Amino acid sequence: MKKLRALWMRLCGMVDGKDADEEFAAELESHLQMHIEDNLRAGMTPEQARRDALIKLGGLEQTKQSYRERAALPSLHRLLSDMRYGLRQLRKSPAFTLTAVMTLALGIGGMTAAFSVVEAVLLRPLPFKDSDRLLSLHEQLAHDSHELRVTAPDVLVFQRQSKAFSGMAGFIAAGYEVNGAGAPFRARAERVTASLFPVLGVEPLLGRTFTPGEDENAAPVVVISCALWKERFQSDPHVLGKIIDLDRRPYTIIGVMPEHFAFPINAGRLSHQDLWVPMSFSPVEKKSEGDNFDYSLVARLKPGISEAQAQTDIDRVTAGIQASYPVDSNVQLHGYFRRLKEETVRNASPLLRMLLAAVSLVLLIACVNLANLLLVRAAGRRREFGVRLALGGSRRMVLRQLLTESLLLSVVGGTAGIALAVLLVHAAAFSLPDSLPRLGEIAVRWPIFAMALGLITLTGTVCGLAPALAAINTDILDSLRDGSQSSGQGRSQHSLRSTLVTVEVALATLLLVASGLLLRSFARMLETDPGFQPQRVLTASLSLPTHDWPTQQKVDDFYRQLQQNLESLPEVKAVGLSSNIPIVGQNSGRLIAPEGHVASPGEGLLITSNYLVQGNYFQAMHIPLIRGRYFDARDEQQGAGLVAIISQSFAEQYFHGRNPVGLRVKVGPHFDTPMPAITVVGVVGDIKQGPLDQPTVVQMYEPVSQTAADLGPLAGMIGVVGTMDVVISTEGDAATLVTSLEKTIHRLDPLLAFSGMQTMDEIVSATESSRRFNTVIVSVFATLALLLSLLGIYGVLAYSVSERTREIAILMALGAPRTVVLLRTLRYALMLTAIGVAAGLLASIGLTRFLYGLLYGVKLLDGVAIMGTVFVLFICAALAGWLPARRAASLAILAPFRECM
């Protein structure tokens, strides 16, 4: 209490220091007078009396000093005065201060924002209990490069036989038409085994999750998401027990999950599930051994079990599965795992790694630039420091002063940077591409804030230290002498500055090359022909519940009716339906055996992407016919011959240039099987099944009405295909057709929900967003880096010109033409640039790590990108050098001499 009070008084003492000083002077004065009077009375002479009083006091100034120190807090006092002085100095040169603060704000702001994104997406643990113990299991077939998950029967096998895990759960995405909760809609759903929620360690917000009994007996129960509960049930606390229809079958709501719960965590903003239903494998699923590796398996490691032990356990189980296959099936199976976290963020990491690398480079450039600015400034203030040292200031004081100044700059710049980061992070929530998971969780958090503060302090100290050390090594006499600029000290500082500029240029080169490569990739991607015309095409996804459409015949009839109704609209040109659409279509790979195909050694099984189509799909998508014919009404008739249309690359790769029209293929590994033969009737152009920058896959099309017949004995595996994308090509703007499509669908069935209504243009553009984001970000950073390094070149040159005014003037007095002076100065700028560019290009070889997987259609050593970078840098460097060079050349010859007279 006593101490606190004293501290408070001392803090107050700092504020009214001046008054207190005066008062104490008066008190001491009265003390001395009283003492002197006493001494006089004791018989001393006036001089003796005064001297004795002063001696007894112990020195006037010393007493005042120790009093002052007690009155306030001396170290804080010094710091405040240093800061006051620093602020005054910074105010005196607003251009320098502004540049430095902005440089820092950009560097630190960018870094904080980028790190916030990285932290939320890559580093933060998944929001499940002990999430680092959760693994995702995979099966892999030998000779198959596709990444697989596990089959439905193997989910059960793993659950029964593995010993290294305390729990295991299978899940697979599903979609349901939902009725009974407001307007009908299509829900994103997940079929999950009852063990899922316990394995994740997540409790529902309301009610309960599934029991194993409900899972086994296909009980119609559903757990809904918090968002669905709020939107469709207005957060009704009595929602449990209510019935909703999923695909026209009644389900009872038994639980509501907590807010923000999502499983699995998918990429993108609109990827959160609306509901979860029990897995309840169907008899067909339970039998589909060795087929359809689409089921995911998440497992929790038992306490004390290592990942190596887990792998051994997985190997044991997969060996058992392998042994259960027929001997002649030739299937080579093995299993592996990934941490769930890694699985979730895998696809995001190349993008974020590059983001972080680019931001780090910019921060580095910003730091170098700041150090350079401080150096130039310190050099300009050598005389000031000389004076201070000559007047008895200690080197430590000067150092402290300089460090205070640079820290002050860092704090102001850093604060601005954090404000910038908050803005950027808000913007990022909207502009980051949908290829990233966990976008909703991005925010500037305390650890990041602490990191930013750490960065600020570090930059402040590092950037301040070098110039400060240089400044205090000043030779006092030298710095006070006139025209000392050309001393050895100046020269060594000058070379340090030149080195810093070279480093800046090198870093900028690195970023410019990266940006050039990404820009070229993006241009290549835009140039890529998707194989169809996305303009004026509208699509929507429809799913007919098997409850009301139990047979393929009924489904086909519905879609035929829809097609006819739509085609009767005046603005519609063609309507088709397909099980998949390009660019975003799931690739349903199918083993295919062409007639007469001789496998070359080392060639694996032939796989093709397979779309089931109906109506005028090719006409609606404008996929060009190369040979033969499109499908027509003949093919959809009962008992029609089995037909297929293949893509050009299919024809080239699997038929080796033979005319495929009239040739036959069979589904399966060999042509020599009891499977029915399918005749190729046409060849069409290749399409991009995935995003434009992904490789084209060979493609086959079949009439959806023939699906069952094509598969012969395996028809049961597919069941009824009720989910189709409708594709409509129009005369005018596709988007205006939205309401007509809605009306047409609801006239046929008012309960039917559909989703994903988009124009093909929107679909194509959405998949470009990730690359567009990359390219824009890196280009912005590269521009920033370029600007910063130009500022550096300009600063160094301008300073060196002002340093050498006399040298230049003598040159000109001796008759050197102005152009020579101009060129000499410019040459220096270009030399610095050349060294920097060379170093930068060498370093850009190391870019591979960061750009791997981000380039498309360009090589890492792309001539255009490199030449472009070199060109841009030299032009800009010449511009930055031009101004100081001109100033040098236009110096009045006599001015520098007048200065020193």
Q: Which residues bind to another protein, rule: CB under 8 A?
A: 2, 5-6, 9-10, 23-24, 26-28, 30-31, 33-35, 37-38, 56-59, 62-63, 66-67, 69-71
Question: Shortest Cβ distance from residue 81 to another protein (Å)?
Answer: 21
Taking the C-alpha atoms of residue 395 and residue 465, their distance in angstroms, rounded to an integer, is: 13
Q: Which is nearer to another protein, 4 or 308 (CB)?
A: 4
Question: Shortest Cβ distance from residue 32 to another protein (Å)?
Answer: 8
Tell whether the torsion through CA atoms of 706, 711, 714 and 720 is positive or negative.
negative
Question: Shortest Cβ distance from residue 36 to another protein (Å)?
Answer: 10
Q: Are 647 and 685 in contact (CB under 8 A)?
A: yes
Question: Shortest Cβ distance from residue 4 to another protein (Å)?
Answer: 10
Q: Which is nearer to another protein, 23 or 307 (CB)?
A: 23
Question: Shortest Cβ distance from residue 457 to another protein (Å)?
Answer: 33
Q: What angle do CA 266, 271, 272 make, to 5 degrees?
A: 95
Q: Which is nearer to another protein, 2 or 898 (CB)?
A: 2
Q: Which is nearer to another protein, 31 or 316 (CB)?
A: 31
Q: Which is nearer to another protein, 59 or 447 (CB)?
A: 59
Rounded (10°) angle between helices 349-380 and 760-803: 20
Integer-rounded Cα radius of gyration of the chain: 39
- Show Cβ contacts of residue 571 under 8 Å, excluding neighbours closer than 6 positions: 730, 731, 732, 736, 737, 740
Q: In this structure, are strands 134-141 and 333-339 parallel, antiparallel, or unpaired? A: antiparallel
Q: Which is nearer to another protein, 76 or 864 (CB)?
A: 76
Write the DSSP string, 533-582. Answer: --TTEEEEEEE--TTT--SHHHHHHHHHHHHHHHHTSTTEEEEEEES--T
Q: Are 352 and 777 in contact (CB under 8 A)?
A: no
Looking up tokens 């006036």, which residue turns up?
Answer: 46
Q: What angle do CA 868, 871, 873 make, to 5 degrees?
A: 105
Q: What angle do CA 696, 698, 703 make, to 5 degrees?
A: 125
Q: What angle do CA 447, 453, 459 make, to 5 degrees?
A: 135
Question: Shortest Cβ distance from residue 78 to another protein (Å)?
Answer: 19
Q: Which is nearer to another protein, 4 or 95 (CB)?
A: 4
Q: Which is nearer to another protein, 19 or 328 (CB)?
A: 19
Looking up tokens 């109906």, which residue turns up?
Answer: 614
Q: Residue 575's beta-bridge partner residues?
A: 728
Question: Shortest Cβ distance from residue 25 to another protein (Å)?
Answer: 12
Q: Are 150 and 137 in contact (CB under 8 A)?
A: yes
Question: Shortest Cβ distance from residue 82 to another protein (Å)?
Answer: 25
Question: Shortest Cβ distance from residue 54 to another protein (Å)?
Answer: 10
Question: Shortest Cβ distance from residue 37 to another protein (Å)?
Answer: 6
Reduce the secondary structure of 474-525 to three states and give it as a string.
Answer: CCHHHHHCCCHHHCHHHHHHHHHHHHHHHHHHHHHHHHHHHHHHHHHHHHHH
Question: Shortest Cβ distance from residue 43 to another protein (Å)?
Answer: 17
Question: Shortest Cβ distance from residue 64 to another protein (Å)?
Answer: 9
Q: Are 455 and 110 in contact (CB under 8 A)?
A: no
Rounded (10°) angle between helices 349-380 and 446-472: 30
Taking the C-alpha atoms of residue 660 and residue 641, their distance in angstroms, rounded to an integer, is: 17
Q: Are 774 and 518 in contact (CB under 8 A)?
A: yes
Question: Shortest Cβ distance from residue 375 to another protein (Å)?
Answer: 44
Q: Are 468 and 399 in contact (CB under 8 A)?
A: yes
Which residue, 2, 105, 164, 32, is CA-closest to 362? Answer: 105
Amino acid letter, residue 675 = M
Q: Which is nearer to another protein, 10 or 242 (CB)?
A: 10
3-class secondary structure, 687: coil
Q: Which is nearer to another protein, 42 or 883 (CB)?
A: 42
Taking the C-alpha atoms of residue 583 and residue 690, their distance in angstroms, rounded to an integer, is: 4
Question: Shortest Cβ distance from residue 24 to another protein (Å)?
Answer: 7
Q: Which is nearer to another protein, 8 or 897 (CB)?
A: 8
Q: Which is nearer to another protein, 71 or 256 (CB)?
A: 71
Q: Which is nearer to another protein, 36 or 407 (CB)?
A: 36
Pair of tokens at residue 648: 């050009």
Interior/surface letters 516-533, b for 16+ CB within 10 angstroms, e for the rest:
bbbbbbbebbeebebbbb
Taking the C-alpha atoms of residue 332 and residue 605, their distance in angstroms, rounded to an integer, is: 13
For 150, which DSSP code? B
Q: Which is nearer to another protein, 14 or 860 (CB)?
A: 14
Q: Which is nearer to another protein, 58 or 602 (CB)?
A: 58
Which residue, 347, 301, 307, is CA-closest to 122? Answer: 347
Question: Shortest Cβ distance from residue 14 to another protein (Å)?
Answer: 13
